[in-house]
Amino acid sequence: MNLIILMIPMALILGLLFLGAFIWTVKSGQMDELESPAARLLLEDLEQDKIKNKERV
Amino acid sequence: MHTELCSHCGSKVKERVLSKFENSVFCCIGCRSAFSVLRQLGLSDTYYRLRGSSTQAIPAQLANDQFRYLDDPSFKKVYCRDSNETSIQFYLEGVHCAACIWVVEKIPEIIPDVVNSRLELGSGLASIEISQNGSFSDVAQFLNSLGYRPHVVKAGEEKKYQIAENRRELVRMGIAGFSSANLMLYAVSLYAGAVNSGYQALLEWWSFVVFLPAFFYGGLPFYRSAYSAIVSQKMSIDVPLVLGMILGAIMSTINLFQSNGVIYFDSIATLIFLLLASRYVLKRSQQRALESSSLSQFLTPSIVRKWKIDSNSSEEVSLDRIEIGEIVEVRSGETIPVDGKIIRGRSFLNESLITGESQLVSADIGQIVYAGTINDSSPLWIEATSLGAASRVGRIISQIEQGKFKKAPVIELADKVAKYFLWGVVFISGGLLIASYWIGLTESLNRILSVIIITCPCGLALATPLAMVRTIARAGKKGIIIKSSEALQRIYECDEIFLDKTGTLTSGSFNVINFNLKTVTVESKEYFNILCSIFALEGLSSHPIAKALVRYSKEKLDSQNFLESAQQLVVTDFQEIAGYGVRGYCNGQMIEISRARSADSERLRNILVGNDQVSTQGTWVEFKIDGKILADIELGDKVLEDAKISVQELQSKKVFSNRLWVLTGDTFESGSKLAQILGISVSNVKAECSPEQKAEVVKQSKYSLMVGDGANDSLALSVAHASIAAHGGMEVSLRVADCYLSVPGLKGVLVAVELAKESFKVLNRNFLFSVLYNILGAGLGIFGLLNPLWAAVIMPLSALTVFFSSMVGTRRMGLILKGVAKK
């Protein structure tokens, strides 16, 4: 049970890290609009294809 | 018989539009032009590959504007988002998939001097940045040619405020989530046995610490709302919620300090987190619904042609730059932008926006005209006498804005319920306190806590709004934009429907309705020769009938690629005979297009019998070659296709039978003719109504649903119990109505009514479940059969049942939207 002295702070620090990351994403505007990133995913595939085709040629 | 799909947008093709590209077929000229633009730029392959994954079929919309005003420095000063005047935001109609993002963001590579271009799918906003030499009009022109009609968006302060507020709420939600997740960790440890070890105190105290941010920061919006509800004595569902939260927190803290009893920090924190999440989702979708409505309609700048006497020409300027006494040139088909006096030109006007009358009115020099009317036939030069807010239309708008006709606020069902919950809880708590004389104070306090926790209406507060929101969002995607769940409730409460005639039940403009060929068929070459002759001859006249015929023939010819040959046709000996028609020679044949003689009306009436499409004021015109009649053409104000079916469906509902009315500014004759066609009794027609009179009629009915558009309906729309603004409506209607249809046709009204009914069913069902649940739970709590801990565990179960009931409801609503639901 001594482990719990370590576990609680660890869990909290990990949680705080994630919370910090979340607050950062919100403040930097990544959460303002959630539909475009879903569509942009397809565009990324396109870029990958282009690069692959160039490499082949 | 197979239905073809448009090669550009994928929607079903009703009337083929041909193109020079083989194997491609289009639903409209807009799609064809977008396709060819993409092909010319070599963007087709990727564009259609990306689009392949999208499921929405939106035909391309082309605007007729020139966009040159976008380069005007005074315009840029007002609308540019930065001081260098190099960036601007457009709202684009019809963007919905990855292909749209791709092509819009490729603009820097296609158009010179464009630095950056970014599209936000959710809002349809495209942010464009150009270099000093760049031109916004080029960008707008390109976007337009692709079928994304662009509207300029004013850099608004409200948007920034909204973004900041949303971010704040997200952070609040994040903190509450962090807190509740960690608390659950500790709670699990405690249940798992830490209670017996020496670490119980540590875990419990630490839970308390982690609980504080969620309780004080996360719960803040609810405390504020509950406080204002109590202070204004308007009951809201937040009050019992907050009561549960605060009491639970106090009890847990007391137990903590006394080191006995159970603590509920995790339950309360989770409750706060879930409530914040659902409120956030609710707010975002309401914002989105309002956004798409406001941006596309409200922020397009009005551009008018200011006439300069000295140079005898006009320049395009923004409407706000016109002053009284200045002259404005209004070409045919354009809307008159100011109240004023005609000083040059003669034409015909469509005054339906003001009077509701669809028949064209002649306009001569010296006549007073009003802003909002459409100049149909020839150019007019108008000296401005009142502008903007001072114009007749403007005055109506400002009256409404000042809230003279504010609707009574709807008490939401949830809030009504909250009142009963609260009184019930207070009553029970009082009873239990008295009972403490027998069972002891701690026991009675525990029981009070159990009762409060289990009767906490979080199910109603959470699941119901979410169900509403989802339905409203989906209806929005189908073009039925509902302002809020209150709006739906109001629509449900209506039992009498008032329909405006012009623009709502009919198309509102003078058009060709029937084209009957006498000897040849539609597919034959002769048919197109006829159309070419009509186009050539009527193009030389500016009579409203001529304009309508030109519009009709142009569209038909263009869709089959015959327009060029029609434009090359030469007409000799052209004559326009007033009251009769036009006459001329084409390729050696004498062509006449003239009014049908009354002796022929019997023949024409027989044609009408076989036809489904009917008009309310038919004007018949004959097409003759060398004296022989080859075609009969009927013109008038066309009844909208689905109007008849929708009206019949509405009447078949018990609620509305015989309570459908037609209100119109037109003559009684045309009104009753329309009523007959639709199946509404003639006694339910109120004709020759001014805007004020329409409002009077609507006000007299307690639960009225008004369906209309245009400035002449906005008064009636605002006094009705619930209102729906039909397609093509004016700005004001859209601000004042509960719901508006961005797709033409009356079907939207039918769907809105059915959705309202279904949503009401869901609400009632949820309410019933909640009540049953609470009676059961409260009963158990009163008799001490349920300790607060179990109460906290079971409470989410009630939320789940309500949630499932809402899901069933939304599924049915989805079916209604798809048009397949059985009654």
pLDDT of residue B520: 73
CA distances from B176 to B60, B227, B464 (A): 45, 21, 22
Chain segment B58-77, per-residue pLDDT in tens: 677 666 666 777 777 767 77
Chain segment B786-813, per-residue pLDDT in tens: 777 777 777 767 777 777 777 777 787 7
Q: Which residues of B touch A (CB under 8 A)?
A: 46, 50, 53, 97-98, 101-102, 119-123, 163, 166-167, 170-171, 174-175, 178, 181-182, 185-186, 189, 194, 197-199, 202-203, 206, 210
The full length of chain A comes to 57
pLDDT of residue B412: 65
Is B174–A23 a contact, with Cβ atoms under 8 angstroms apart? yes
Three-state DSSP class for residue B114: strand
Q: How far is B142 from chain A (nearest CA, A)?
A: 21
Is B50–A42 a contact, with Cβ atoms under 8 angstroms apart? yes
The token duo for A34 is: 């959630």
Distance CA B717, CA B695 (A): 8
Q: Please name the residue ranges forming H helices in B310-387.
A: 352-355
Closest by CA to B409, choosing from B310, B486, B298, is B486
Q: How far is B410 from chain A (nearest CA, A)?
A: 31
Highest mean pLDDT among B177-191, B301-315, B467-481 belongs to B177-191
Is B397 within 8 Å of B714 (Cβ atoms)? yes
Is A27–B167 a contact, with Cβ atoms under 8 angstroms apart? yes
> Torsions phi, psi of B797, nearest 5?
-60, -40
Amino acid code (one letter) for B452: I
Bridge-partner residues for B631, per DSSP? B517, B623
Count of other CB atoms within 10 angstroms of residue B68:
16
User: A35 and chain B: CB distance < 8 Å anywhere?
Assistant: yes
Q: Is the pLDDT reported for residue B10 higher than 60?
A: yes
CA A21 to chain centre: 9
Q: Is the pLDDT reported for residue B300 higher than 50?
A: no
Residue B281, exposed/middle/buried by CB under 10 A (0-12, 13-18, 19+)? middle
Mean pLDDT of B696-703: 89
pLDDT of residue B297: 40
The size of the A-B interface in CB pairs under 8 A is 72
Percent of chain B with pLDDT over 90: 7
Three-state DSSP class for residue B22: coil
pLDDT of residue B301: 47
Range list of β-strands (E), B494-627? 496-500, 506-517, 571-577, 581-586, 589-595, 619-625
Q: How far is B97 from chain A (nearest CA, A)?
A: 6
Is B61 within 8 Å of B28 (Cβ atoms)? no
Q: Which residue has the tokens 């709420």?
A: B169
The token duo for A37 is: 């990133």
Is B123–A33 a contact, with Cβ atoms under 8 angstroms apart? yes
Predicted ipTM of the assembly? 0.85
User: A10 and chain B: CB distance < 8 Å anywhere?
Assistant: no
Q: Is the pLDDT reported for residue B606 higher than 70?
A: no
Mutate to test the interface with A, among B48, B95, B102 (most CBs of A within 10 A): B102
Q: Is the pLDDT reported for residue B410 higher than 60?
A: no
Is B332 within 8 Å of B326 (Cβ atoms)? no
Report strand pairing: B589-595 vs B619-625: antiparallel
Is B60 within 8 Å of B39 (Cβ atoms)? no
Distance CA B57, CA B7 (A): 11
Q: How far is A1 from chain B (nearest CA, A)?
A: 8
Contacts made by residues B408-416, CB under 8 angstroms, sequence distance 24+? B410/B486, B410/B489, B410/B490, B412/B485, B412/B486, B412/B489, B413/B489, B413/B763, B413/B767, B414/B237, B414/B457, B414/B460, B414/B461, B414/B464, B414/B465, B415/B234, B415/B235, B415/B236, B415/B237, B416/B235
Chain segment B425-442, per-residue pLDDT in tens: 888 888 888 887 887 777
Nearest to A42 among B53, B185, B206 (CB): B53
Is the Cα dihedral B322, B323, B324, B329 positive or negative? negative
Mutate to test the interface with B, among A3, A22, A25, A30 (most CBs of B within 10 A): A22
Confidence band of B731 (pLDDT split at 50, 70, 90) = low
DSSP per-residue letters across B745-813: STHHHHHHHHHHHHHHHHHHHHHHHHHHHHHHHHHHHHTT-S-HHHHHHHHHHHHHHHHHHHHHHHHHH
Distance CA B542, CA B367 (A): 19
User: A3 and chain B: CB distance < 8 Å anywhere?
Assistant: no
CA distances from B98 to A44, B121, B122, B358 (A): 10, 9, 12, 42
Mean pLDDT of B594-606: 63
Distance CA B421, CA B765 (A): 17
Please give the residue of chain B at the shortest CA–CA distance from A13: B182
Q: Is the pLDDT reported for residue B611 higher than 50?
A: no
Q: How far is B80 from chain A (nearest CA, A)?
A: 22
Which residues have CB under 8 Å from B387's CB, separation 6+?
A: B319, B322, B323, B324, B338, B339, B371, B394
Which chain B residues contact residue A23 at CB under 8 A? Answer: 171, 174
pLDDT of residue B307: 85
Distance CA B41, CA B26 (A): 19
Is B163–A29 a contact, with Cβ atoms under 8 angstroms apart? yes
The full length of chain B comes to 823
Q: Which helix (H) or strand (E) holds B79?
A: helix B73-79
Bridge-partner residues for B638, per DSSP? B615
B204-238 burial: b if 16+ Cβ within 10 Å, else e: bebbbebbebbbeebbebbeebbeebeeeeebbbb
Distance CA B575, CA B584 (A): 6
Is B282 within 8 Å of B469 (Cβ atoms)? yes
Please give the residue of chain A at the shortest CA–CA distance from B288: A33
User: A32 and chain B: CB distance < 8 Å anywhere?
Assistant: yes
Is the Cα dihedral B749, B411, B733, B501 positive or negative? positive
pLDDT of residue B710: 54
Q: Which helix (H) or strand (E) holds B685?
A: strand B685-686
Which chain A residues contact residue B198 at CB under 8 A? Answer: 1
Confidence band of B213 (pLDDT split at 50, 70, 90) = very high
Q: Edge-to-edge strand order for the sheet containing B581-586?
A: B506-517, B628-639, B619-625, B589-595, B581-586, B571-577
Which residues have CB under 8 Å from B704's CB, separation 6+?
A: B494, B496, B497, B498, B698, B720, B721, B722
Q: Is the pLDDT reported for residue B299 higher than 60?
A: no
Is B174 within 8 Å of A23 (Cβ atoms)? yes
Q: Which of B443-447, B488-492, B795-799 has the lowest mean pLDDT?
A: B795-799
CA B110 to chain centre: 33
Is B306 within 8 Å of B325 (Cβ atoms)? no
DSSP B195: G
Q: Which of B318-322, B694-698, B727-731 has the lowest mean pLDDT?
A: B727-731
Confidence band of A43 (pLDDT split at 50, 70, 90) = confident
Chain segment B356-376, per-residue pLDDT in tens: 666 678 888 998 888 878 787
pLDDT of residue B539: 83
Mutate to test the interface with A, among B178, B186, B195, B287 (most CBs of A within 10 A): B178
For chain A, the distance separating the N- and C-terminal CA atoms, rounded to the nearest angstrom, is: 63
Is B167–A42 a contact, with Cβ atoms under 8 angstroms apart? no
Which chain B residues contact residue A35 at CB under 8 A? Answer: 120-122
> Which has more confidence, B470 or B44?
B44
Nearest to B121 among A16, A27, A36 (CB): A36
Q: Compute, in degrees rounded to 10, the torsion defined by CA atoms B431, B432, B436, B442.
A: -160
User: A27 and chain B: CB distance < 8 Å anywhere?
Assistant: yes
> Which has more confidence, B616 or B52?
B52
pLDDT of residue B411: 54
For chain B, the distance separating the N- and C-terminal CA atoms, rounded to the nearest angstrom, is: 30
Q: Is the pLDDT reported for residue B302 higher than 80?
A: no
Which residues have CB under 8 Å from B164's CB, separation 6+?
A: none
Q: Which helix (H) or strand (E) holds B178?
A: helix B157-191
Q: Compute, in degrees rounded to 10, the torsion defined by CA atoms B302, B308, B312, B314.
A: -20
